[in-house]
Amino acid sequence: MADRIKIKSADGFEFEALHATPSGKRRGGVIVIQEIFGLDQYVQADVARWAGLGFEAVAPSMYDRVEPGFTAGHDEQGLAAAFATVQKAKPADALADIAACIAFLKDRGPVFIVGYCYGGTMVWHASANLDGLAAGSSYYGGGVAAAADLKLKNPVICHFGRKDGHIPADEVTAKIKAAHPDLPVYIYEKSGHGFNNDGRPDSDPDDAKTARERTLALFEANGAL
């Protein structure tokens, strides 16, 4: 079960994070980056899932510099609140807080990162700007295409849903492949946006399972013990 801890960034700011210790032998650390809705039930489930696979998992509360403890529902009202909040969050601050999570985990083994929606974009930027990550898995990051030309410091894979009304899968894939021809980009034919969230309308259990298996395989190929 995850607990809530405080982690301090290099500038002295303290933010909250979900933290779960691994079941059995520790295989590495995983930083889980939220969707725009904050540390909701789906992030909590993902943290528990990674801990169950043998990883020490940390999910930073990415909006604490704007609105500490922010969480929103996935309805129309929640979406509006989430968009208003994410627009106030500074990318440089987000990277600083992710760097603090790397520092928190790095002395105990390899550090990996996985993120969803907003978090998928942040996985891309963290992999381009921060040291200390062994590999990253980016799920339906709406900002990845615009940053496709960034040079990455660690292996990354990307996941998109064919039915995603927010992200044109083929167009985004083409942009990523133009800059990174060998980078794996997976399109899930039965799924839309947010398909890692079990029980959501756009989630297909088989697609979610396959994406998780690919992410785990990436981590295992890059140092997971």
Q: How far is CA 195 from the centre of its chain?
A: 13
Mapping DSSP to helix (H, G, I), strand (E, B) and coil, where does residue 218 land?
helix
Tell me what pLDDT residue 115 has.
Answer: 98
Give the span between the Cα atoms of 209 and 223, in whole angstroms.
Answer: 21
Our separate counts of H helices and E strands in the chain read 6, 8
What is 3-221's CATH superfamily? Alpha/Beta hydrolase fold, catalytic domain (3.40.50.1820)
At residue 91 the predicted structure's pLDDT band, cuts being 50, 70 and 90, is very high
- Token pair for 213: 């298996």
44-66 pLDDT, tens digit each: 999 999 999 999 999 999 999 99
Give the span between the Cα atoms of 9 and 101, in whole angstroms.
Answer: 8
Q: Is residue 204 within 8 Å of 185, Cβ to Cβ?
A: no
**What's the CA dihedral at 133, 137, 142, 148 to 10 degrees?**
60
| Reported pTM | 0.97
Q: How far is CA 12 from the centre of its chain?
A: 23
97-110 pLDDT, tens digit each: 999 999 999 999 99
Give the span between the Cα atoms of 130 and 128, in whole angstroms.
Answer: 6
At residue 16 the predicted structure's pLDDT band, cuts being 50, 70 and 90, is very high
Q: Residue 162 carries which side chain, given as an amino acid letter?
A: R
Q: Residue 107 carries which side chain, given as an amino acid letter?
A: D
